Amino acid sequence: MSEESLGLPQVMEKQTMRRRVFNLAWPIIAENGLETLLGIVDTILVAHLAQSAVALAGVGSAVQVMQILLSALAALSIGASVLVAQAVGARDLKRANRLARQSLLWSVILSLPLAIGGFLIPGLVIGMFGLEPAAADIGARYMQVTMGTAVVLTGLFIGGGVLRGAGDSRTPLIITTVANVINVPLAYGLIYGQWGLPDLGAVGSAWATFIARGLALVVLLIVLWKGRNRAGITIRGKGGWRPDFTVARSVLSIGVPAALEQIITAAAFFVGTIVVGHLGTTVFAANRIVFTALSISFLPGIGFAIAGTALMGQSVGAKRIEDGAAAVRIATQWAVIWMGSMGVLIILFASPLMTLFTSDVAVIDAGISGLRVISLAMPALAIMFVQAGGMRGAGDTRTPMLIFSAGVWVSVGLGALALATIGGGLTATSAGWAVTGPVMAWLMTRRFRATISRLTRATPEPVGTMALASEPATPG
């Protein structure tokens, strides 16, 4: 394994550190961009069906439910990523390989009950949104496909997380690119019944995404088995395939707070979506487009946050805390520049952006103001994302959970209160983010600095030069 692939600086020149942060972050941003593109393409295709507002509302409700249930599996992804990063930083590649095997194994074990539940009770859950019958039917059928195949998505997500924790962000990017190349024509064919494929309408996008991700998972498992990735991580070998509760506890001790954060946050969005759903199908469809469009602007923040998690985790393993702190500071600067710029562009071009997704004038008008209001919070959200990522890399996932979960619920509460008192549609529901974003950013930054100070005092200085794993990983 090369020094460059690990992303750990030996010499603390600022220029070198910037290059290392960016080299790890850009494939993550590109990968998340392609993954987001998967959803955007599906949204655009669904939006051009007859009765597009009904189709968008149905798909949006199912996606919202899926995000809540899959958030429970974020524990494995984040916990495994942090522990793999620390093992790689300490040059313990045998442990890193074992963690990779166990993470994939437990992803299957824990995702099966969610898949079964999501397949059996979709109608009851979708009914909570109060949608009209046609939209509710689409949502229930869409949810059956997406949740019934959750094992595939979870395996793909966790396998990529293992590689990113080890410093390899390019292999997941290549695999995600393969998935997108397959998904785009397949979604078109299944939604509209082209090229001899069945006409499945809006639900066809769910089947296309499942097939594309399934093939991508096969590729990822082959890459991990052969060890042909930039990190040198391999799952090849007979050992480490029995469920190990000791490893599970280690992973979950870091990951459970992160999972709770995702669940609580997704639950808040779920409640907010229910509130919006009662404003009518048109506003609900506009809300779906708003958050699909905003997901693009979040990509730099999320990408640099994941890079911060990996670099901080590797620095903890190598006992060079200040190196990790410097990487997180640089990642924060990059995220603010990119997300702030994208926020300005969204404010200026909100109308053309909405038009990209739908030609329904009522839906466009309902979504423009919501887009612009949330965009005001972009710089603050960038700071919050990356500082939280740094804390996770240091092993503190509880503080980001408390700060972000509380902030999201306050945002939803403020939006609901505004609707109940002064009205305002999506403008009111979006205003909470502009208020809570700066507060969350300040709290997260303060806590990250305290975490670095604590770790610096508790960690002995490393002897000699930084330990870097230069040899390929061996089956452990």
pLDDT digits (tens, 9 = 90+) for 191-235: 888 888 888 887 888 888 888 888 989 999 988 888 766 667 888
Residues 314-368: tens digit of each pLDDT: 888 888 888 888 889 999 999 999 999 988 888 888 888 888 777 788 888 877 8
Q: What is the pLDDT of residue 11?
A: 41
Percent of the chain with pLDDT over 90: 8
Spell out the alpha helix ranges (H) of 48-92: 52-71, 74-89
150-165 and 74-89 helices, crossing angle to 10°: 20
Measured distance CA(15)–CA(283) in Å, rounded: 47
> Can you give the C-alpha Rg of the chain in angstroms?
22
- Give the CA count within 13 Å in the CB-facing half-sphere of 318: 28
Mean pLDDT, residues 78-88 taken together: 82
Q: What is the pLDDT of residue 467?
A: 37
Amino acid code (one letter) for 212: A
Q: What is the pLDDT of residue 380?
A: 92
Q: Is the pLDDT of residue 259 over 60?
A: yes
The DSSP result for 170-226, as a single string, is HHHHHHHHHHHHHHHHHHHHHHHT-TT----TTHHHHHHHHHHHHHHHHHHHHHHHH
Percent of the chain with pLDDT over 70: 86
Residues 19-76: tens digit of each pLDDT: 778 877 888 888 777 777 776 777 777 776 756 677 777 777 777 677 666 666 666 6
For the chain, how many residues are written?
Answer: 476
Closest by alpha carbon to 416, among 279, 247, 246, 238?
A: 279
Give the residue, 140 or 447, on which the prediction is more confident: 447
Q: What is the pLDDT of residue 248?
A: 76
Q: Are 393 and 339 in contact (CB under 8 A)?
A: no
